[in-house]
Amino acid sequence: MNLREVLDRSADLSAARVYSDPYETVDGTTIITVTRYRAISGAAAPVGIFVVHNGQVSWEPAADVTRIALLGLATAVIATLAVLRRPPWPDLHFTGSPW
């Protein structure tokens, strides 16, 4: 797969992606950054980079560690509140004699 095929395929997914100018490093590797732009909020967020080395194209996604951590924290809080509100074990109260 060459760079043109990768760019054409990814361009179909979203029209809001912005590609930077290619940057060539000392060892001959070419790097192209990809950013997602939201016109409504005017915010830009990194998506990842294309790395072209020796004729091979690879994709390196950018991970938003803060978003992942907040998602984990929110999940832990919701799970804790669910257990405190209604424990997973059954009710153990008796209203009368079982005999």
Q: What is the pLDDT of residues 36-78, one digit of tens each?
A: 887 677 778 888 999 999 989 999 988 878 888 999 999 999 9
**What's the full length of the chain, in residues?**
99
Strands 23-24 and 43-53: unpaired
Question: Could you tell me if 49 and 31 are in contact, meaning their C-beta atoms sit under 8 angstroms apart?
Answer: yes
Q: Lowest mean pLDDT: which of 28-32, 47-51, 84-88?
A: 84-88
Nearest to 6 by CA among 62, 54, 50, 53: 50
What pLDDT is recorded for position 11? 52
What pLDDT is recorded for position 7? 61
Distances (CA, A) of 45 to 16, 42, 80, 91: 11, 10, 32, 49
pTM over 0.85: no
Distances (CA, A) of 13 to 6, 9, 16: 11, 7, 9
State the DSSP H helix or E strand holding residue 70, giving kind and residue range, or none if neither. Answer: helix 65-85
What pLDDT is recorded for position 14? 46
**Is the pLDDT higher at 50 or at 14?**
50
